[in-house]
Structure 1
Amino acid sequence: MTATPSAGCAHAVTERGEPERADYRGAFAHAPLPLAVVDGEGLVVDANQAFAALVGAPPDELAGRVAADLVDLASDARTWHTYREVLRGRQADLRCTRRLKHPDGHSLWARITVSPMPGSADRDGGGTVLLAAADISARRELQARLRHVQMHDPVTRLPNRNLFFERLAAALEAGAYDDSSTGRVGLCYLDLDGFKAVNDTLGHRIGDRLLAAVAERLTRCADLAGHGRTAPPLVARLGGDEFALLVEESTGTEELAGLAEATLEALREPFDLSGQRLSVSASIGVVERRASGATATGLMQAADTTLYWAKTDGKDRWTLFDPERNAHRMTRQTLSSSLRPAVDRGEFVLDYQPLVGFDDEDVRGVEALVRWQHPQFGLLTPNRFISLAEEDGSIVQLGCWVLRTACRQARRWQLAHPEREPVFVSVNVAVRQVWDSDLVADVAGILAETGLPPRLLQLELTESAVMGSTGRPLQALKALSEMGVRIAIDDFGTGYSNLAYLSRLPVSALKLDGSFVRGFQYEEGETQGNPADAVIVEAMVQLAHRLGLTVTAECVETAAQATRLRRIGCDTGQGWLYSRPVAADRISVLLGEVNPGPESPKEPGVRPSAGRTRPR
């Protein structure tokens, strides 16, 4: 007779399954991880002892409870939606972190995981899920301590640069302010005046104690400013001796100005550090603006710029950000960065101003004056860019271009007007051109290239640069003079005026500063004139002539000035009485005239200047 194995097999499985199920239930009940079985409706079917301890309820009272209420899954819409999708079988699992309130009053952090039970899905795809809740309070506490260390300065215990920028970014986030808020943010950015000297003389230990004491005073200022506000300004140490006070919900510049002034007053009080009595001050840059559209980078750049202004304006003060002043600074930066390529792009042009003889009013020479035809800012005079060129060294490249262009033009005039005595061209030279380049070789090469005789080139250097010339600059001046090039001292009378040293220099001409000439604007005998001006100028002219030098008076603007300068003995005059700086073709017209004579400016919008903008 054949046995029927199916019944026996089924019986065997049943016999083995009961102990296994009992083992599983025992493991579930006593597992150290809090676990709960939840049905498709979100109700607890079963829970272990660890879960009951976590939520503070007896295990036999948990069945039928709403699981989401026990572990706070409905507190935000995204988590609640995901949980419902897991119950319906439309999403694989849910992972989130929740802060739970225990019935005994303490709080804890739990990591919640919800995932489907294998083989429990119903026809609609939903079914029983397993909810696990791990207590991560100790880990969160450790993370909080580590974050505090990471986000705070160990010396002052203030928020550090990381936390400051985190708060600043949050304050500037879109939607951070509602309709009831001011929607503005303010910043006082400060550093201590002379803190480095404290560190260098008394040591870093005293320096750190001073920083901690400063932090205490700043915190007190912030607390006082915070009365009546939701929160006081955030005080942070950004590094070194730099601190910042961040004011969220600022009410305007007056509030920031008051905070800055109170901060200065607090820091002016001497510090007593265990017998060391120290007095310090601070410089503060103040920025206040709407949060909308502002960026952390832009706000800090403005604050840094304003702090620099406070330092340069005299320290121990606060300075408010000025958009117009900043625009000027940005313009300087833009010009500085584009100077070198501007020469290659051909953006510079030369104007020329005649030097006219007082005896016959004939043109003896011209001074080359450089202008920058900037594509963004229009025509710029030398005072806008020459100092920048000297700072970054591009004056060497620019000066070489000016010299070559002026010499080439002077040679054209010489060839175009053979019937008259050729005019010389005068070119300004910066001291840096002498130091940073081989000026002698450059001049020799340009004269050879253009064919201009050396006697028709005059190089102008300022009095302060020439009078102290030794070593290489003096050797260069002597070499140029021996070559036949004229050397002129520009703005004479405003610098060292070392007349004894003047006799040892290879100089051929003096150009009297316009400040002397302006005193000659009245006729002789009029009470408005200063008699001393005539005496000084006459003495300088006589001295120059005895040394074999010619004298040019700058800024000649009236016929009365020209008459008196002629009587004193000046050789040539330069100024708007004769001509303003003009293009090369206008000089060609003047050279074609027998006697140009004085020419009053007639163009609309132009009037005689009180002084002359000097190129270098």
Structure 2
Amino acid sequence: MGSHMPSFHQLIADTSHHWEILEDMAGRTEYCSPSCLALTGFGPEHFLGRTDVLTGLAHSASRGELDEFLTGLRNGPTNMSKSLELRIVTEDGLSRWVVCHARRVTSSDGRMFLRASLRDISRRKALDMELKSSRLRDPVTGLYNRAWCMETLQRQLKIHAPGTYFSVTVMDIDRLKKVNDTLGPAYGDEIIRMAAERIAATMAPPDSASRISGDGFALLFPGKSPREVIKHIKRIQALMAAPFDLRGHEVTITASAGIVVSPMPGDKPEDVLRNANIALRRAKANTHHRYKVFHSRMFIESSRQMEIEIDLDAGLRNAEFFLEYQPIVCLETKRLKSVEALLRWNHPRHGVMRPDEFLPVAEATDFIVPLGEWVLRRACADMVALMADHPELTDLSMSVNISARQLAQHNIAETVAEVLRETGMEPTRLKLELTETMAMENPALTAQRLHTIKALGVKISIDDFGTGYSSLSSLQNFPIDTIKVDKSFVGKMDTSAEQRKIVRSVISLAHSLDLDVVAEGIEMREQWSMLKVLDCQSGQGFLFSHPVDMAKLRTFICKASPQVKQ
């Protein structure tokens, strides 16, 4: 430095804790302060007269950025200054983080130099890394969290080349809500933690797992073929199906998964996770413990479902929903015994929609609760009006379907009581129907809710019986009055001896438990005749009447009995 800096300035540089360097514009070191020894393990003599000192010390991961930094300074304007954080390699081979503040300076004789001041920031970087690591970790499971997943997925999508393998899977725990409702949220968290351990046990770099939602996990598989990914997912599902020991409670769960194989170029992380979630919802649509691989058709269908979900609220506000009623008749006399309320939607763009087009969407959201209450209220009001015109129908009842979400509401009994009171409906004329599968989802909660409703005088019916895995004996804890035999059995009983056996067994067991039986989906006279022989009291189906509006129902009632041509 000598002739290029006054002795006072050199004294400051010599005694500074920072490593001070002065290079000419060719990169040759003219001055090096003694602090280099503490920072690098090399003394000043190691650097004086040498060129590209910083480049030689730089860690390979920082070299490219440093070259760009120095080139910018050397080619930039006079008095330009810049800063850079980089890693260097010390004499003993260790890596150390430094911050380099550099600027162009001019000596008294007009020569240009680069002056750099380097300070050790390794401790700060370690703390930063520790904080970042904790920020990117899920506190419950110890897995990476959603933020880490999104960052990593972003990097993977950037380097993913066409023709190479890369898959993303979203997996969640089936029926975790049942654990929370039965044992409490603390047990639910324990299930999530133990499930994460089982997932992590199957993962090895470069594969990774992160927790991205309450019971949702994202699994990234760079380099694995679709066949290998599916095999891996099946392995995790098998591990999940093994019982969990929760403080003495043995709990069995399952897991479902949605898989995206080879994301499209230009896809964003949120697009990939959205598509994986679409496939996951499809996997969980009808059952559990399954996986689905995403296809573009699913996105189109999901967009339609999203449109329906958005339109549901407007539909209720704009009175687009209406009810039709299907008669339930005495199979022996054809006398009208009951009517079942069936929901329809006159959509402003799609016309009258089938229930299976919008009810699953409503059921998957909380909107089924206000919609179901509207159905109950409308059906009860129509029943009261009907009885005012036909007081002779002394034993006529109204069947209304309720959903799982409705039944899960803690105030469901109060809601039913309020509707009965406001409409003036006699409780004994109302029959609430729930499916067999829904009843057995959480038997204890179902029984408690149904007993409370039953105390109002309302009757209870099990719909679609036979499609689940329960038996009539398992339903004895529920205060039910009626069993409805599913139409899938009734529709084949005239051609299948096996189906006739099933229908006969259900009717016989129902009678032994003093329950009424209604056969659904009667479309042929042969089915009607067989059901009468089997002593089935009631039935409904197109043979007697399609679902009709109130005006046509009144016409139906005005006949002495539903006339089926002989």
Same fold (TM over 0.5): yes
Secondary structure at the aligned position of 2:457 is classed as helix
Task: Count residues in correspondence.
Answer: 508
Secondary structure at the aligned position of 1:598 is classed as coil
Opposite residue 373 of structure 2, the aligned amino acid is V
C-alpha displacement of 1:533:
8.0
Give the equivalent residue in structure 1 for 2:443.
none
C-alpha displacement of 1:131:
1.2
1:598 aligns with 2:553: no
Q: Give the 3 Å change call, closer, same or farther, for CA 139–133 of structure 1 in structure 2.
A: farther
Opposite residue 477 of structure 1, the aligned amino acid is G
Give the conservation status (yes or no) of the 8 Å contact 1:557–1:575: yes
1:33 aligns with 2:18: yes
Give the equivalent residue in structure 2 for 1:111.
99
C-alpha displacement of 1:69:
5.4
Give the equivalent residue in structure 1 for 2:130.
146
Give the conservation status (yes or no) of the 8 Å contact 1:183–1:249: yes
Cα deviation digits, residues 121-157 of structure 1 (max 9, x gap): 96xxxx6345123242643674477368637979999
C-alpha displacement of 1:49:
3.8
Give the equivalent residue in structure 2 for 1:401.
378
Q: Which moved more, 1:511-520 or 1:576-585?
A: 511-520
Give the equivalent residue in structure 2 for 1:97.
85
Give the equivalent residue in structure 1 for 2:546.
580
C-alpha displacement of 1:60:
10
Give the conservation status (yes or no) of the 8 Å contact 1:260–1:286: no
Give the equivalent residue in structure 1 for 2:220.
246
Give the equivalent residue in structure 2 for 1:176.
159
- What does 1:268-417 correspond to in 2, within 5 Å? 283=255, 285=257, 287-291=259-263, 292=265, 293-295=267-269, 299=273, 302=276, 306=280, 319-321=291-293, 342-354=315-327, 367-374=340-347, 379-381=353-355, 385=359, 388=363, 392=369, 394-405=371-382, 407-408=384-385
Opposite residue 98 of structure 1, the aligned amino acid is L
Cα deviation digits, residues 348-395 of structure 1 (max 9, x gap): 222233567889978788654332345687513389639938974653
Give the equivalent residue in structure 2 for 1:477.
457
Opposite residue 273 of structure 2, the aligned amino acid is L
Give the conservation status (yes or no) of the 8 Å contact 1:192–1:280: no
2:116 to 129, 132, 143: 132
Structure 1 CA distance for aligned equivalents of residues 386 and 454 of structure 2: 28
Cα deviation digits, residues 325-347 of structure 1 (max 9, x gap): 99999988987887666433312
Structure 2 CA distance for aligned equivalents of residues 492 and 535 of structure 1: 15
Structure 1 CA distance for aligned equivalents of residues 175 and 551 of structure 2: 56
C-alpha displacement of 1:250:
3.3
Q: Give the 3 Å change call, closer, same or farther, for CA 531–211 of structure 1 in structure 2.
A: closer
Give the conservation status (yes or no) of the 8 Å contact 1:396–1:437: no
Q: Give the 3 Å change call, closer, same or farther, for CA 372–67 of structure 1 in structure 2.
A: same
Give the equivalent residue in structure 2 for 1:604.
none
Give the conservation status (yes or no) of the 8 Å contact 1:371–1:379: yes
Q: Tell me the TM-score normalised to structure 1 length.
A: 0.56
Q: Give the 3 Å change call, closer, same or farther, for CA 58–260 of structure 1 in structure 2.
A: same
Opposite residue 246 of structure 1, the aligned amino acid is L
Q: Give the 3 Å change call, closer, same or farther, for CA 29–400 of structure 1 in structure 2.
A: closer
Structure 1 CA distance for aligned equivalents of residues 447 and 84 of structure 2: 80
Opposite residue 87 of structure 2, the aligned amino acid is R
Give the conservation status (yes or no) of the 8 Å contact 1:52–1:58: yes
Give the conservation status (yes or no) of the 8 Å contact 2:259–2:279: no
Give the equivalent residue in structure 1 for 2:145.
161
RMSD (Å), alpha carbons: 6.8
Opposite residue 457 of structure 2, the aligned amino acid is L
Structure 1 CA distance for aligned equivalents of residues 239 and 484 of structure 2: 53
Cα deviation digits, residues 65-115 of structure 1 (max 9, x gap): 4677567798446424531344x31x6311113334567866554422222
Q: Give the 3 Å change call, closer, same or farther, for CA 304–574 of structure 1 in structure 2.
A: closer
Q: Give the 3 Å change call, closer, same or farther, for CA 244–341 of structure 1 in structure 2.
A: closer
C-alpha displacement of 1:186:
3.6
Give the equivalent residue in structure 1 for 2:167.
185
Structure 1 CA distance for aligned equivalents of residues 131 and 418 of structure 2: 65
Give the conservation status (yes or no) of the 8 Å contact 1:108–1:135: no
Give the conservation status (yes or no) of the 8 Å contact 1:410–1:424: no
Give the equivalent residue in structure 1 for 2:207.
233
Secondary structure at the aligned position of 1:385 is classed as helix
Q: Give the 3 Å change call, closer, same or farther, for CA 148–280 of structure 1 in structure 2.
A: farther
In structure 1, the gaps of 5 or more residues are 1-17, 224-230, 271-277, 415-419, 449-453, 479-486, 499-503, 601-616
Q: Which has the greater radius of gyration?
A: 1
In structure 2, the gaps of 5 or more residues are 244-249, 440-445
Structure 2 CA distance for aligned equivalents of residues 493 and 60 of structure 1: 88
- What does 1:557-572 correspond to in 2, within 5 Å? 557-560=523-526
Q: Which moved more, 1:401-410 or 1:382-391?
A: 382-391
C-alpha displacement of 1:514:
7.1
Structure 2 CA distance for aligned equivalents of residues 191 and 497 of structure 1: 29
Opposite residue 120 of structure 2, the aligned amino acid is I
Cα deviation digits, residues 249-295 of structure 1 (max 9, x gap): 333x212133345667899999xxxxxxx999985746342344142
Q: Which moved more, 1:30-39 or 1:331-340?
A: 331-340
Give the equivalent residue in structure 1 for 2:399.
428
Opposite residue 259 of structure 1, the aligned amino acid is H
Secondary structure at the aligned position of 2:380 is classed as helix
Give the conservation status (yes or no) of the 8 Å contact 1:55–1:102: yes
Structure 1 CA distance for aligned equivalents of residues 138 and 533 of structure 2: 78
Give the conservation status (yes or no) of the 8 Å contact 1:42–1:67: no
C-alpha displacement of 1:248:
1.8
Secondary structure at the aligned position of 1:259 is classed as helix
Cα deviation digits, residues 15-70 of structure 1 (max 9, x gap): xxx9x94444444455553333445x445473134377569586598458467756
Give the equivalent residue in structure 1 for 2:442.
none
Opposite residue 558 of structure 1, the aligned amino acid is M
Structure 2 CA distance for aligned equivalents of residues 488 and 269 of structure 1: 36
Give the conservation status (yes or no) of the 8 Å contact 1:189–1:242: yes
Q: Give the 3 Å change call, closer, same or farther, for CA 338–132 of structure 1 in structure 2.
A: same
Give the equivalent residue in structure 2 for 1:83.
73
C-alpha displacement of 1:399:
0.4
